[in-house]
Amino acid sequence: MKYSLLDSIESPKDLKALTIEDLEKLSQEIRDFILKTISKTGGHLASNLGVVELTIALHYVFNSPHDKLIWDVGHQSYIHKILTGRKHKFDSLRQLGGLSGFPKRKESNHDIFETGHSSTAISAALGIARARDLQSHDDYNVVAIVGDGALTGGMAFEALNDAGHSKTNLIVILNDNEMSISHNVGALAGHLSKVRASAEYNWIKKGTQQLLEKLPGIGKPIAKGMELVKRGFKSLLVHGMIFEEMGFKYLGPIDGHKISNIISVLEQASKMEGPVLIHVITQKGKGYDFAEDNPELFHGVPPFIMETGKAQKKNISTFSKTFGNKLVELARRDDKVVAITAAMLESTGLMRFKELFPHRIFDVGIAEQHAVTMAAGLAINGLKPYVAIYSTFLQRAYDQILHDVCIQNLPVRFAIDRAGLVGEDGETHQGVFDISYLSHIPNMTIFAPKDTEELRDIMDYTLDHDGPIAIRYPKGYTDLSLLKFYPCSEDNVFNPYKWETLINGTDCIILSFGKMLEVAIGAARILSQKDISCQGVNARCIKPLDESMLNVLSKSHSNWITLEDNVLTGGFGSAVNKFTISNSIDVDILNLGIPDNFVPQGKVEELLELISLDANSVANRIISFLNRNKENVYVHDVKTKT
């Protein structure tokens, strides 16, 4: 589709020649373009629809990349990408080799700082501003754009406190998409913002205070009294009192969908000395009814049908949904069960729990550290907390897991969603480190169910488990349909600590779990066609290892393969290696897992192929392993013979 204005924008410089009316029309064209693109590619929709006018105004007033724009979280940077010369590549968004869904420095010099987790922008911006100040030849604006959700993260307040104290020239834009605009208070606050931002007001304010202080005997007390009266008045009428107390000049709130207003305030802020905070009110999902009505549902979306807002994929039973439904069942059984999440109610499957048990669920906002330590407090008082957090976000609370939960051996249950490769969100969201950062902590138990039914069984066990416990599971679901080709003779009675044999075989053993069992079974199928018989084992308990089964396997097989969707360093394979070496077990091991580099965005199937962890690649690597020269040393081939 042709766009009269958007098609003419190749860089932010092209905005400078447009009128306000043109910019308003451009905002509508961008919304249409965003909707049509994301409905095909999937991505973060509601947040981007809400920042169209704000982003246009930022690039209209400032001169990127000379002026530095730092986006918090980064999933609201799509318009920024479009305006900085990447519109023609936008249909490759979040695809392998295409545009990242987040700011990416190697992608454009307009992307100043890479983000994927929340609450980091103000810290990064302050560092950039201080570096500018230390290099006297540099002179540019530094602007951090943060959402109101980011302020639920303690790191943002640490940065605000430091920035306000420093008096460094820095602009923080608070994109508030939760509050409604009150016409009376908003208009008054807007008026006060303009007055306080004007040079005349600041000159009069400073001059009056200096004059009063010169009056002998009474000047300073009067000046101090006037300041107290002024602060009291402002605390009643101006929302930003907390920011002013921290050292910021507060401007706002302003309507984030009126381009002329935003431009005016940005121009004023760029001339002010010291740290400035601009409070902008926006609406998530602006311009698309379905997203406006349900912004959480349209936060991150798969490809969808624009006319209905419905996802193109069929509604399936995912691990997240299964977790949420099972937790409801446990809560009905035991009134001590409580749920905790960090701004991810919908995504972690907890909406039904919230509806049924509103007083037993705690959404703490984007504050993973607080979530974990609060869970420790709940556990100390006899409750049974389940903490549902994505793998990539839980790593932000590593210290709290170690110090506040595991040292005290508290029964906190961690539901680690999106473990392993998540796909299109890329490096910052791949959950491939959780086994490494959890397994070395004393008292921690780690499970990885093979399917949703096994997740339910493991959750039953966790209800009365005494100590920290983690259940890691992938995005979506697992497809183990290939198991129908391998009827296993074992009668497996469920025990969460015991591994199970899924496929019988004689030439080698593949030890795997969770999502990677799909790959293991697929590789075994390929190998069987080459007359290689693989035994497939579901290693559902990652810590502790099923040592009794490992001892049994060592007597029947000398070639072991570990397969995991975690980094090899410190992962499941490392634990198996340590066990065999410590017990002088005479086997050779091939460790397969995530290599020592960050995995980009793309479909999970594409990424597995990229890093040679798809079924075909695994089968070929196993063939090479089995045919190796025993005297040679191979990458990931761990010799444990004594």
Catalytically annotated residues: 284, 368, 396
Nearest to 172 by CA among 123, 104, 245, 135: 123
| Strand-pair category, 541-543 with 588-594 | unpaired
Contacts of 516 (CB under 8 A, 6+ apart): 420, 563, 564, 565, 613
Q: 420: which DSSP letter? A: B
Give the burial class of 483: count Cβ atoms within 10 A of its Cβ; 0-12 exposed, 13-18 middle, 19 or more buried.
middle
Token pair of 533 as six digits: 């018989």
Cβ atoms of residues 116 and 426 within 8 Å: yes
* Whole-angstrom distance, CA of residue 395 vs CA of residue 137: 39
Closest CA to 124 of 99, 102, 155: 155
Give how far Cα 366 sits from Cα of 115, 153, 262, 326, Å. Answer: 15, 5, 27, 24
CA distance 532 to 623: 8
Side chain identity, residue 322: T
Q: How far apart are CA 562 and CA 638, in angstroms?
A: 11
Name the residue among 403, 457, 438, 391 with its Cα closest to residue 575: 438
In terms of Cα–Cα distance, which of 242, 205, 241 is closest to 223?
205
Strand partners, 71: 145
Asked whether 292 and 286 are in contact (CB, 8 A), the reply is: yes
Q: What does the block give as tokens for 405?
A: 């939960």
| CA dihedral sign, ordered 213, 215, 220, 221 | negative
Task: Indicate the residue type of 291.
Answer: A
Residue 30 near residue 6 (C-beta atoms within 8 A): yes
Looking at beta carbons, which pairs linking 179-185 to residues 24 or more positions away fall under 8 Å? 179/148, 179/253, 179/281, 180/281, 181/253, 181/255, 181/281, 185/237, 185/239
Q: How big is the CA angle at 296 (ends 121 and 276), to the nearest 5 degrees?
A: 30
How many Cα atoms within 13 Å fall on the side-chain side of residue 454?
27
Cα(562)–Cα(211) distance, rounded to whole angstroms? 78
DSSP one-letter code for 116: S
Q: Residues 6 or more apart from 325 whose CB is under 8 A from it?
A: 349, 352
Q: Which residue has the tokens 């799509």?
A: 78
Nearest to 81 by CA among 60, 63, 102: 102
Q: Where are the alpha helices (DSSP H) in 381-505?
A: 391-394, 398-400, 434-439, 452-462
Specify the 3-state DSSP secondary structure of 374: helix
* Residue of 33, 31, 15 lying closest to 23 (CA atoms): 15
